[in-house]
Chains A and B, each alone.
Chain A
């Protein structure tokens, strides 16, 4: 820790105003998604809750709370110098790993959709340690791969092995839940960071091959649960399991398709109001946009996410040090693959996994994590001058 503090003494103490350094395009795009997402969460739940005698604004209120907390976290992450953040990284990582172990303990974690991924908290909230783990892995391996203990411009094999170890433990724990979607996203982010870090090419190629072979063997050897295979099968043949995963995928596709060019109008989607798509406010939030806002509205969402990613690439390039670049790259890969997996699943391009759509899906942990990721991008952006 001390080395890193000594290395950058001149940056310490630079005062930042509360608003300074905010990238207007990035902020505008995220704000747009947050507002749209909140409306869609409300659209997805109001009718169903009202008709079942519950508070129609239940999810709306909670989502607003989630966003407010998330924004405070993002603001905090933005104003703390990301280089200072490195000091806390081992603690965040350790906290994430502990959470992942804790969630697997019998009687502690609650199982949703076949994955034991949540720790229930009082007041109906619950926390998902894997989301914390994502951030800690990105920061952790970015730190390891950007620190140079020798004169080389690129990370050594030792650096790579250490970062794989840092990423490997949480990934194995998430694999045990099992939450394949998150494993896929973390793995993709790690490989992307490695590629940008300048690590030896064989590592990048090797890991990609390992992922392909590992996925194949896992499916064949039964490491992946029955539940996972069913989801995968229903992706290949949506009619195979009409009541379970296949039903969900078919309904999702019909709901999106029925929106047409301009959609049915917000709050007016009969598929959404009839609650034909299960989990619609979380993993299938995009179907609400598809039905009620049509191609124009849901296309806008994809465009805003695209804007965030392209903006993040610009920030990554302009970063003063490799560490900032790598953190940005990690966040980019995380957002990009999570977006592609989520919307791709909704549209029938990807198999079904339980990953939320960044900035839009209802959820506490994922919203906090997304906004912290956004804060990291802002942070790097704010400090590229000089």
Chain B
């Protein structure tokens, strides 16, 4: 071999050796340096998690009656991993299946498509889970039909029938409870992405509204995970992990199923009654509170929705109706999201203001047909003069002009349009004592705060709207250029930043810019009833594990104290009772065997409906009972429902009838909801079989208290 060949050979040897070193280096990088990353990647290729959802905890009322539980149905499921292997991807199988079950092919086909395999905008009704879970197409199959399917695997490949648990909201005695209970539904992409800081599995259902939403963490439980190792054809080779689901905890509430049913019915009745009298009555709300601790015994909103519809699979129309104006936006919980002027129910606050301003609660006042305020005359309700009245009588008959006079005088004393640097503001301060414009903090989602239209609010409002009103002719729509509105805009531009005489006068009778929610008014009246404590309204009482262990109890919480002296409280108790005896609701509560107290409200609403008609008054009735040592506060509101007395007070009476076991004008022994006058404080034993005790709604025979043995057996079975 010559020298050149020898040299070439060395060069080639070095080159080849370095190639081998390069391979070794790359191998080291892949396996040792980046090894963990590739191990994760390999794991995600090989493993498939199948999630067994946990049984959701029950929501029960204070005596253990289930308001939300799980029903077992027979589900017909489609196994995508099997039907996909068929020549037509299972179209023929599903076709014969829908014929047998009398379902719609397009619906079922859509329900068995994975959301990920559908283009954007076509995903409605798709399957949010994975290909490896059996996809249910009905939860309520007839066992006979199910059997005929399971017996013919040749005709129905990949189709099977399995018992499944699904959420059910029993309609006890006509109870609906949609707004307070809420409903469950599949996870959204945002939930899965960790939008609220929790981790979920795709097939889980979560609470979407109401208590189901707020206490979801307790109710949901932990799903069981089975991890399969699969090969390239997705055939399962081994099971690597298998954890059993942990059932969710039960939620004990302060609600009473019978009272909730009575409230739902009474509210719906009130709306129907208002409509029968020609009012639009586009919605309403009713709340029953325990005044001693703020616990919510019933809470209703109208129009409502069927919480069971979500588990059956909402049709597109049902889903749209939930938020549609034409159906009255049933999704809106008016009890805590609806904002309305309180009207005359506010006069209880005005009493506090008058007392603080030094007015004699025992004094006599004139109730003329109108009061001249500046250049405008403010009329009494229905322009009626009531002559000379005590303040108690003035509350009973709901005289407005007494309050106009007091509010105007106080406004002038505070400096009128050029306010003093430190005005007394008795009315605003009295409203602030009741924490108007502040959320109650009830344990339901999306509560509205309301609005206290005091000097600060007025100034803020003006700075935001000054430009609009001062350039009204340019800014406002042509249709809004009526002479009255133009004048109003001019006035707003001139001194919109100040509390004007009219504002002060309107404020004293709960009109104007001050608005609140029904739950807020209930809290305020409960505070009057209990002597001055603003309890935070709560629904949850306790969280109980399936084995009966109490995990957490919810102690009553105070939002604050009114700071109103006992003389004023006593006067209010007396005056509000007088309303039901000789006042505006005397007709409704005539001969009612339990003494109650209350105040009607008929609040004017400005503005027009979509069809151009002027909006009707908001009908209010705020009350508490019994009149002495009150225990319950009941508030009903019907939006555009007309008079407070004829619409809402009648509804409230019906709630009291169930609460106290009143039939006609007599108390039926044994039918009062809480025979000793107190809602239960002991936590109930939880069983799906618990039935409500007798009441006006279900008189029957007095219920036999279920013996503990069958109850515990029933629990064990589930």
Contacts and interface: CB of A to CB of B under 8 A. Distances in A.
A276 B2 contact: no
The binding surface of chain B is classed by DSSP as helix
B8 interface: yes
B46 interface: yes
A259 interface: yes
A333 B230 contact: no
Interface in B1-37: 1-2, 4-6, 8-9, 11-13, 16-17, 19-20, 22-24, 26-28, 30-32, 34-37
Interface in A273-298: 273-276, 290, 294-295, 298
B38 A325 contact: no
Contacts of A198: 2, 4-5, 8
A136 interface: no
Contacts of B610: none
A274 B19 contact: no
A309 interface: yes
Interface in A231-271: 251, 253-261, 270-271
Given A316-B9, A325-B1, A274 B229 contact: yes
Contacts of A270: 42, 46, 229, 237
Nearest to B11: A195
A18 B46 CA distance: 50
The binding surface of chain A is classed by DSSP as helix
Given A196-B5, A298-B31, A343 B23 contact: yes
Interface residues of B, number: 41
B32 A260 contact: yes
B45 A276 contact: yes
Contacts of B32: 260-261, 295
Given A51-B235, A196-B9, A273-B237, A257 B23 contact: no
B376 interface: no
A197 interface: yes
B9 A313 contact: yes
B190 interface: no
B232 interface: yes
Given A48-B231, A253-B38, A299 B30 contact: no
Nearest to B26: A347
Given A51-B237, A261-B32, A340-B23, A309 B4 contact: no
A336 interface: yes
A329 B38 contact: no
Given A274-B231, A305-B20, A349-B22, A196 B31 contact: no
B39 interface: yes
Nearest to B41: A254
A258 B9 contact: no
Interface string A351-376: 00000000000000000000000000
Contacts of B46: 270-271, 274, 276
Contacts of B16: 309, 332-333, 336
Contacts of A153: 2
A116 B374 CA distance: 104
A306 B17 contact: yes
A198 B4 CA distance: 6
Interface in B77-121: none
Nearest to A319: B1
A215 interface: no
Interface centre among B6, B11, B16, B230 (most CB of A within 10 A): B16
A68 interface: no
Nearest to B6: A317
A273 B231 contact: yes
Q: Interface extent on A, as a size class?
A: 35 or more
A168 B237 CA distance: 50
A325 B4 CA distance: 13
A166 interface: no
B237 A261 contact: no
Interface in A79-132: none
Contacts, number: 147
Contacts of A306: 17, 20
Nearest to A48: B231
Nearest to B229: A270
B28 A295 contact: yes
A310 B17 contact: yes
Contacts of A260: 31-32, 35-36, 39
Nearest to B46: A270
B232 A347 contact: no
Contacts of B232: 274-276
A339 B21 CA distance: 12
Contacts of A295: 27-28, 31-32
Contacts of B4: 154, 198
Nearest to A276: B232
Contacts of B26: 344, 347-349
A348 B37 CA distance: 16
Given A310-B17, A332-B16, A344-B23, A271 B34 contact: no
A302 interface: yes
A237 B377 CA distance: 83
A37 interface: no
Nearest to A250: B41
B5 to A, nearest CB: 5
Nearest to B234: A274
Contacts of A322: 1, 5
Contacts of B28: 295, 299
A154 B4 CA distance: 9
A57 interface: no
A254 B237 contact: no
Contact of B30 (A192, A251, A253, A303): A253
Contacts of A275: 231-233
B22 A258 contact: no
Interface string A312-324: 0100110100100
Contacts of B38: 253-254, 256-258
Contacts of A340: 19-20, 23
A12 to B, nearest CB: 23
Contacts of A348: 26, 30
Contacts of A298: 27, 31
Interface of B: 1-2, 4-6, 8-9, 11-13, 16-17, 19-20, 22-24, 26-28, 30-32, 34-39, 41-43, 45-46, 229-233, 235, 237
In the complex, the 8 A-B pairs of residues with the closest C-beta atoms, listed nearest first = A257-B38, A258-B42, A274-B231, A260-B35, A295-B31, A336-B16, A306-B20, A257-B30
Given A256-B27, A295-B27, A343-B23, 17 more contacts: A47-B237, A195-B11, A195-B12, A254-B45, A257-B38, A257-B39, A274-B230, A276-B231, A290-B31, A302-B23, A302-B27, A319-B1, A332-B16, A333-B16, A339-B23, A344-B23, A347-B30
22 contacts: A47-B237, A51-B231, A195-B8, A196-B9, A198-B2, A254-B42, A257-B31, A257-B41, A258-B38, A259-B31, A270-B229, A275-B233, A299-B24, A302-B23, A303-B24, A325-B9, A332-B16, A336-B19, A336-B20, A344-B26, A347-B27, A349-B22
